[in-house]
Amino acid sequence: MEINIAFTQTPIDFSPSPLPSHEIGAVVEFQGIVRGTEGPAAITALDYEAYEPMARRRLIEHIRELGLSYHCAAVVFVHRLGRVPVGEASLLVRVFSKHRGTALALCGELIDRMKADVPIWKCNAA
Amino acid sequence: MEINIAFTQTPIDFSPSPLPSHEIGAVVEFQGIVRGTEGPAAITALDYEAYEPMARRRLIEHIRELGLSYHCAAVVFVHRLGRVPVGEASLLVRVFSKHRGTALALCGELIDRMKADVPIWKCNAA
């Protein structure tokens, strides 16, 4: 499985990723967007931080492990760090697979695992 | 829930849809891509047809019904008709929601229901 992980301080680039092969029948893309409220408070932005070497290592471990259950061809993971304004994306996940079921399952479970077990966090609301 | 359904004879336009509100925390996009094989045969394209008025009506019914279980803000559904070359998208589904769980679930179940119960079909392989 191709795995491509990136962290960026600038807005996430959503230009299409090339298809890894002619065996791809499903591309699932997830965007996590900063909402205008955090708990009860109205906000204008969230600040994100990551411990990048560990985050990258953990993400690769989780993606490889999920790939054993959900065979997929490629995963792209991009997380924005620093200040992210409301309405902009903090996270992009793209999964390429032969079939939609594996792509949707891997995408959802990867985000669950990221929230539970990867050192990327909201450090401040503005 | 905003529902936007379209059929097109030309390549699907993947430019971003505007966010319906600042309450959107998750955007899920699914692309169905024509693969290079159909059963055992290598192909270069698939031809799609639809009975559009019924397809549109059924899709709206299914999306509204799924919205009762998975509260989402908006759904965009675009299906390409006519000849679709290998490696190009025949289907785009975008779901906008406050939370990722509802968006991923609605997206997956909508495609299952489309395959089972909506008059859009592959009529020819080239």
Residue B24, C-beta contacts closer than 8 angstroms, at least 6 positions apart: A33, A35, A87, B73, B96, B97, B98
Nearest-CA neighbor of A80 among A88, A70, A72, A90? A90
CA distance A32 to chain B (A): 5
Give the gyration radius of chain B's Cα atoms: 15
Q: Name the closest residue on chain A to residue B90, using Cα atoms.
A: A25
pLDDT at residue B38 in the model: 87
Q: What's the complex ipTM?
A: 0.96
Both tokens of residue A92?
């992009």
Distance CA A107, CA B117 (A): 26
CB pairs under 8 A between A and B: 83
The residues that bridge with B27 in the sheet, in sequence order, are A31, B96
Q: Inspect the interface and report whether the beta carbons of B108 and A86 lie closer than 8 Å.
A: no
Indicate whether this model's pTM tops 0.80.
yes
Residue A47: which of A92, A85, A77, A6 has the closest Cα? Answer: A85
Report pLDDT digits (tens) over A54-109.
Answer: 999 999 999 999 999 999 999 999 999 999 999 999 999 999 999 999 999 999 99
Please name each of the domains of chain B with its CATH number.
2-125 (3.90.1170.40)
